[in-house]
Amino acid sequence: MTNAATFRKVAPYALVGAAAGYLYYLAANFQYHARAGTLGPDFWPKAILVLMIAVCAYEIAKIIFSGGAAQDAGGVLEDMVEKGAGKHGDAAAPAAPIASHPGLLLAGMGATLLYVAASQRLGFFLATIVYLVAFMWLGGYRRWRVIAAVSVVGTLVLLFIFMKLVYVSLPIGVAPFSEVTLLLMKLMGIR
């Protein structure tokens, strides 16, 4: 691989890595009052940025030291799809036209906008349940027991992760909806 080709492949990773390094510097200088026994607001941004820098460094090293011999990940995936299609006899089948549903796209976008607006009033828990139900229904899934289970359990898991582990302040809603969120927070040990 020529130096120009190597540079073209390395440049995006170097730029993203440098930007992540600068953002890490900014995150390291957050001004806040530390509370004993809790993570500060700088922890998660710095952790993500360290991972981003590590991935960029790995990719740069892989490009430089492979000398162009390494196959791109996209090529590997394409080979796997082609081999799988060949085994199942789908390779000779004509491709079916892809259906377009702009109405469903607009409905999904509208549901997302409504979710953002409703979350302040209903609170994260109730608004997210309604949003997930609506989104799965718009997506064509009709098994209501599965929709209900995924919506409730998924929202509880997200509530726990965001509020208990990551310390993100989520909207609790206004009365009487806030009572549901406050009860769940109490049951999960979230303060």
Residue-wise pLDDT for 79-91, tens only, equals 655 666 666 655 5
Please give the model's pTM, rounded to 2 decimal places: 0.56
**Same domain for 13 and 61?**
yes
**Same domain for 21 and 59?**
yes
Give the end of a domain, one of 87, 120, 137. Answer: 87
Distance CA 54, CA 169 (A): 29
Structure token pair of residue 178? 């806030």
**Same domain for 15 and 73?**
yes
**Same domain for 11 and 72?**
yes
Could you read off the pLDDT of 131-173 as tens digits, one per residue?
999 999 999 999 999 999 999 999 999 999 888 887 788 899 9
Q: What is the dihedral of CA 163, 164, 165, 171, to 10 degrees?
A: 0
Q: Is residue 96 situated within a structural domain?
A: no
**Same domain for 64 and 124?**
no
Give the domain extent around 168. Answer: 102-188
Domain total of the chain = 2
Q: Is residue 80 situated within a structural domain?
A: yes
User: Using an 8 Å Cβ cutoff, are 6 and 63 in contact?
Assistant: yes
